[in-house]
Amino acid sequence: MQVVQQPYPNWHPSPPVDQVGVEERVARLAARSIKKESKVAALKLALSMIDLTTLEGSDSPGKVRQLCYKAKHLHDALPDLPHVAAVCVYPTLVRVAREELAGSGIKVAAVATAFPSGQADRETKIRDTRYAIDEGAEEIDMVISRGAFLRGEYGYVYDEIAEIKSLCGDAVHLKVILETGELGTLDRVRQASDLALAAGADFIKTSTGKIQPAATLPVTLVMLEAIRDFHLRTGQKRGMKPAGGIKTAKTAIQYLVMVNETLGPEWLTPSLFRIGASTLANDILMQLAKETTGVYQCADYFSQA
């Protein structure tokens, strides 16, 4: 009898993904229409789940301060608005964001582990993560080593995630970026999701935003189903973060519908669902203004920072 070698601890074979079935389910869910009070509630909920992000080579302390100011003052535009969940920056700018957001309730997130490529040795990734945490990051968004994953070195990828999670401990949430645009198939997306969850990821995240395609509804559905099955098997709740290319309020609501239908209303909270975006907040504000006043406002009335 052949013995199947387990590629990493707590390994469970990932089920095959029915791509046609996934696409059909996504099409049905995306066709849902939400109107009036329910739409306003969904827009406010989506706003509260945004990780407002700037991850450019040209980022500066001034740009991060402006982004943090925007994060703290979104509610100035309309009454009764929640603040965003977090501001996400490079490790070198965490201290600036932490100082600007002090007392606001908005988390400071930092990318780490040689973001966005992941092409660095283990010690460099550990130093990168430790530096971000020491600077005040409350959340770490790490990238997996896609080359190792695609070569079938699943134990290596598992150990790397587990080690970064050990640095984070319970106090710092770890979001593990799969970079699904480089994985090639939905079967690989499911396998990478299962691996990251087993290794201790608090969230699994689609993309860095630097590779196309970034977040898509079919990929997100596969990842949500991995979270559902992990919860059914272990009783543990883990979070989900689609990121990259989510620019409109309509698209954000489609993601919320998918979360509700796949995982249930308990996951409709910033503690278990996030949206990584740089421009989505403005479109949500415009849609909320339209629901309040009956007319669209010019985009120039909203900060582009």
Query: Mind telling me the catalytic residues?
Result: 141, 205, 241
The whole-angstrom separation of Cα 208 and Cα 56 is 12
- One-character DSSP codes across the chain: -PPPPPSSTT--PPPPP-HHHHHHHHHHHHT----HHHHHHHHHHHHHTEEEE---TT--HHHHHHHHHHHHHGGGTSTTPPPPSEEEE-GGGHHHHHHHHTTSS-EEEEEESSTTTT-S-HHHHHHHHHHHHHHT-SEEEEE--HHHHHTT-HHHHHHHHHHHHHHHTTTSEEEEE--GGGT-SHHHHHHHHHHHHHHT-SEEE---SSSSS-S-HHHHHHHHHHHHHHHHHH----EEE-BSS---HHHHHHHHHHHHHHT-GGG-STTTB-EEESSHHHHHHHHHHHHHHSSPPPGGGS---
